[in-house]
Amino acid sequence: MIEERKPTDQPQKPQTGLRQTDGIQTSPFDRFKSIELQVALFTSLLAFIGAIVGTLISGSIQQSQWKTNVRFEYQKAILQKRIDLIDKASAILNRTDSAKWYEIEMELHKEELGYKVKGAALQQGKPQSITQDTVSDKRDNFAGFKEAQLSLVTFNSEFAATMTMVRLYFGPRTRNAVDSLMKELKEANKWEFKPATGLKILEEMTNELDYGLDDLKLH
C-alpha cells in the first residue's frame, strides 16, 4: 500500500526588495547609481564636445578678426603712401624749372668753354682746329659744366623714381597721365612740357586716392 506523502511546507523567504539578475542580487539603489553614472558620463561628453565646438568657433572668429585688422592696416599703409606721393610729385613737378636751368647752364658753360678753346687756338694761329670734339674733350674739366651736369643727373633720377612709384601705387588714370608727360618730354628732348600735363597727374592722383582699397584680399 502506497503511503500518501503530504507536501512539505517550505519556509517562505522574506521579501527584501532585491532582484535576481543572473545569480546577482541588485537593489533599486544600485540601479539608481547606474543611471546617475550614465547621466554624468553623458553630461561630461556634452561638455567636452561643447568645449571643442566653442574653441573652433572662437578660433574662427579670431582668425577672421585678425584678417580684418591686417587688411585695415594694409589699407592704411597704402593710403598714407599715396598721400606722401602726392606731396612728393607736387614738389618735384614744381622743380622742373630747375632742370631747365641746369640744361641752360650746361649750354652756357659749353659755349664759354668753346670760346676759351677758340681763343687759345687763335693765339696759336690755328683757327681751323676748333671742332666739337675739341670742346667735348675739354668740357669735362670745366667745373661749372660738371656741377650743372651733376645737378641735372640727380634731378632726373629723383624725378624718374617718383614717377615710377606714382605709376605703381595709383590706378590707370594716373598712369595714363604720367605716360602723357613722359611722351612730351621725350618728344621735346629737353625739360619742357605743358603745365596742364603736370597738373593732370596731380588731379588724377587725388581722384584715385582710394582706388582699389576695398578690393584688397589677403591670401
Q: Among residues 173, 180, 179, 181, which one has the least CA distance to residue 205?
A: 173
| Phi, psi torsion values for 25, nearest 5 degrees | -85, 130
By percentage, how much of the chain surpasses pLDDT 70? 56
Would you say residue 123 has pLDDT above 80? no
Q: What is the pLDDT of residues 87-105, one digit of tens each?
A: 999 999 998 888 888 888 8
Check if the beta carbon of residue 173 is closer than 8 Å to that of residue 204: yes
CA atoms within 13 Å, Cβ hemisphere of 140: 4
Output the average pLDDT for the chain.
74
Would you say residue 130 has pLDDT above 50? no
Residue with cell 596731380: 202
Q: Among residues 189, 111, 180, which one has the least CA distance to residue 144?
A: 111
Given phi > 0 = left and psi -120 to 50 = alpha, else beta, which region is 216?
beta
